[in-house]
Amino acid sequence: MKVFRRAYLALVKYLEAAASFISDDEVESLVRTLEQVYRDGKRVFVVGVGRSGLVGRAFAMRLMHLGFSAYVVGETVTPAARAGDLLIAISGSGRSAAVVAAAEVAKSLGVKVVALTSYPDSPLSKIADMVVSIPGRTKVSHEDRWEVRQLLGLHEPLAPLGTQFELVAQVVLDSIISELMERLGIDEEDLRELHANVEV
């Protein structure tokens, strides 16, 4: 194989390098908001299109396992959002039209909006009450990216389109789950209790 193993290691290195671009303060704000929502019995909604939407779904599923009232915008049983609820909006570019539109509607309802994006100046970020910056292509320096391409010996970038953004967002959100487990005193057995047992 020409590329597989180098691509794998390059993605791991990217995830490692990304750690220093993630803000403790931003993550702490999101975690505190999630704790508050949990204790107040409010709802968490996630929204994203394409692969960012899948990252959001993976997070919503774990929140449900933790005992949150978590919903994915656009799925069947997603109810009305109310003031005091939380919307987590995921968009690398911060420009996905459907995500921006959902954030605007949520904001107008008194829902707190958190943006996970690589662009703190994007339309989505401007609507959001909080931003968690996720390093995507533009956040790790161009030199960095060039080294990565050199490492791969390719003219093509490391991985196409939003792959890096999506992977970093996934690991950030999974790590937030661990943080919430610790803070809320929830252990793996509790998660297992809520995990779907009738599945297709």
Give the footprint of a second copy on residues 126-185 (CB under 8 A): 152, 154-161, 163, 166-167, 170-172, 174-179, 181-183
Choices 3-11, 117-125, 128-136, 142-150 (CB under 8 A): range interacting with a second copy? 3-11
- What are 107's two structure tokens? 């904001």
Q: How far apart are CA 103 and CA 147, in angstroms?
A: 36
Q: How far apart are CA 138 and CA 165, in angstroms?
A: 10
State yes or no: is 193 an active-site residue. Answer: no
**192 near a second copy (CB under 8 A):** yes
Q: Nearest Cα to 40, choosing from 85, 88, 107, 87?
A: 85
Cβ neighbourhood burial of 195 (10 Å; 0-12, 13-18, 19+): exposed
**65 near a second copy (CB under 8 A):** yes
Q: Select the residue interacting with a second copy from 21, 58, 84, 130 (CB under 8 A).
A: 58
Q: Select the residue interacting with a second copy from 21, 93, 105, 149 (CB under 8 A).
A: 105
Q: Select the residue interacting with a second copy from 34, 37, 72, 88 (CB under 8 A).
A: 72
Least distance to a second copy, CB of residue 160, Å: 5
Q: How far apart are CA 28 and CA 87, in angstroms?
A: 16
Active site residue ranges: 166
